[in-house]
């Protein structure tokens, strides 16, 4: 899987079409885009170290996986037949019973997942990492070690994730606090009502840590309908009270997609006013999120793979562009501008989910670029062609399907 070739440092990425526009040369220094100049086809082609030919391909910013679980996959291992019950609780129990025998969490399996992300053009992630009474903070250490081994090919923010519940497991809240104190950018939560059966208690605990440590909050909320909407409302109240606008995310949030339209409109407007964001994994079978209404209300929407090939589900490939196709289809996007919106959700518009001010093909942004052979962005979103070249932090990290880190 790993090429013996060292990743090449880019100084000029020649003749690419950012977002399908005119041909330009991207100039790179210290891992950032420092100039964007029109490509002059008549000028003699420069050569030498760091000059990379983009061959006129379509360029997108590096893809941003805003909801991953890189600590718990068995990617690269022999097939594991799914053996859990089809409920959240059943999946939690199945995972806890079998993760040790699969070496989860482990640096090698985490590296396998991260490399698969890189192969498909993902250069930045927000990953949830299990924190529980059995593992403590070991999973976070494993993920940090794997990220370091890639030498910056994947920029990451970490959510300390209480997969086994918070208040129902005394001691977990202290672990989340310790994770935040040790540098995790966010504390996670899990179905405060249906898992802990104490939505006010779990959310109060998470918000207290966020206020104390200055970290964000990212809550898995599978509960649908009124129960889920009620918990979103609790998060809105607490976000406004604590002044945490822009730092609170609802992951999945099926309720936002499945409550009646009048309630949905009120909920979406209130989320926008509170600066709450949402991440989706574009699940098949759930009511799709009202992506246009959310964005119009100022609710940023991020896209993520969720866990891939893990003890929760055998599905997922780590290809965020293919998942963008799925998001667009489930959202019934047909117009070109909608397909471009889908691509922006999966890249430039997701900067905030990975702690970046800017993540685009512009001066000052990190030099994270994906090249694909596509006519335009809608064509790229619909076909999800192979990633011809992936540049992360100014280095070529994948080429024609070969991962170079």
Q: Which is nearer to Zn ion, 281 or 343 (CB)?
A: 281
The pattern of x and - marking residues 299 through 318 that bind Zn ion according to CB under 5 A reads: -------x------------
The residue with its CB nearest to Zn ion is 306
Please give the full DSSP string across 3-34, using - where no structure is assigned: -SSPPPBPSEEEEEEETT-S-EEEEEETTEEE
Q: Which stretch binds Zn ion (CB under 5 A): 225-233, 298-306, 367-375, 384-392?
A: 298-306
The pattern of x and - marking residues 25 through 54 that bind Zn ion according to CB under 5 A reads: ------------------------------
Q: Which is nearer to Zn ion, 18 or 307 (CB)?
A: 307
Rounded to an integer, what distance in angstroms lies between the CA atom of residue 166 and that of residue 176? 9
Contact 54, 13 (CB under 8 A): yes
**Based on the number of CB atoms within 10 Å of its own CB, is 2 exposed (0-12), middle (13-18) or buried (19 or more)?**
exposed
Contact 168, 182 (CB under 8 A): no
**Footprint on residues 362-401 left by Zn ion (CB under 5 A):** none
Rounded to an integer, what distance in angstroms lies between the CA atom of residue 377 and that of residue 2? 29
For residue 392, give the DSSP letter.
E
Least distance (Å) between residue 73 CB and Zn ion? 12
Least distance (Å) between residue 38 CB and Zn ion? 43
Q: Which is nearer to Zn ion, 180 or 250 (CB)?
A: 250
For residue 161, give the DSSP letter.
E
Residue 37, beta-bridge partner list: 25
Least distance (Å) between residue 67 CB and Zn ion? 6
Least distance (Å) between residue 220 CB and Zn ion? 5
**Residues binding Zn ion: what is the number (CB under 5 A)?**
1
Query: Residue 213 is encoded by which pair of tokens?
Result: 């440590």
Least distance (Å) between residue 135 CB and Zn ion? 16
Least distance (Å) between residue 219 CB and Zn ion? 10
Least distance (Å) between residue 109 CB and Zn ion? 17
Closest C-alpha to 270, from 256, 287, 284, 283: 256
Q: Which is nearer to Zn ion, 252 or 352 (CB)?
A: 252
Closest C-alpha to 355, from 137, 66, 128: 66
Q: Which is nearer to Zn ion, 17 or 220 (CB)?
A: 220
**Footprint on residues 130-169 left by Zn ion (CB under 5 A):** none
Judged by the rule CB under 5 A, the positions of this chain that interact with Zn ion are 306
């Amino acid at each position: 899987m790993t090429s013996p070739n060292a990743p090449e440092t880019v100084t000029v990425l020649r003749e690419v079409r950012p977002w399908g526009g005119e041909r330009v040369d991207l100039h790179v220094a210290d891992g950032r885009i420092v100039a964007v100049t029109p490509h002059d086809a008549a000028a003699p082609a420069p050569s030498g170290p760091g000059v990379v030919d983009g061959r006129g391909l379509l360029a997108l910013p590096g893809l941003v996986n805003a909801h991953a679980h890189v600590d718990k996959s068995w990617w690269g291992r022999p097939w594991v037949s799914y053996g859990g019950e089809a409920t959240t609780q059943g999946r939690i129990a199945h995972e806890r019973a079998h993760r040790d025998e699969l070496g989860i969490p482990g640096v090698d399996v985490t590296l396998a997942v991260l490399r698969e992300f890189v192969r498909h053009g993902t250069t930045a992630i927000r990953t949830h990492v299990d924190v529980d009474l059995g593992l403590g903070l070991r999973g976070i250490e494993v993920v940090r070690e794997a990220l370091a081994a890639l030498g910056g090919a994947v920029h990451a923010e970490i959510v300390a994730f209480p997969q086994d519940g918070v208040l129902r497991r005394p001691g977990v809240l202290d672990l989340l606090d310790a994770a935040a104190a040790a540098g995790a950018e966010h504390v996670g939560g899990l179905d405060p009502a249906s898992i802990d059966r104490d939505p006010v208690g779990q959310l109060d605990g998470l918000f207290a840590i966020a206020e104390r440590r200055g970290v964000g909050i990212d809550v898995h909320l599978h509960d649908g309908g009124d129960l889920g909407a009620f918990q979103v409302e609790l998060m809105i109240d607490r976000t406004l009270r604590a002044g945490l606008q822009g730092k609170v995310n609802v992951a999945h949030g099926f309720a936002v997609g499945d409550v009646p339209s009048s309630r949905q409109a009120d909920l979406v407007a209130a989320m926008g006013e509170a600066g709450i964001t949402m991440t989706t994994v574009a699940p098949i079978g759930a009511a799709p999120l009202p992506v246009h209404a959310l964005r119009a209300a100022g609710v940023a929407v991020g896209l993520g793979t969720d866990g891939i090939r893990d003890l929760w589900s055998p599905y997922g490939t780590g290809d965020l562009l293919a998942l963008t196709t799925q998001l667009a289809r489930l959202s019934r996007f047909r117009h070109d501008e909608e397909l471009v919106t889908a691509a922006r959700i999966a890249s430039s518009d997701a900067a905030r989910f990975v702690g970046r001010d800017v993540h685009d093909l512009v001066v000052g942004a990190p030099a994270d670029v994906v090249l694909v052979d596509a006519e335009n962005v809608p064509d790229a979103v619909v076909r999800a062609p192979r990633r011809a070249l992936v540049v992360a932090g100014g280095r070529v990290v994948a080429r024609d399907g070969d991962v170079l880190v």
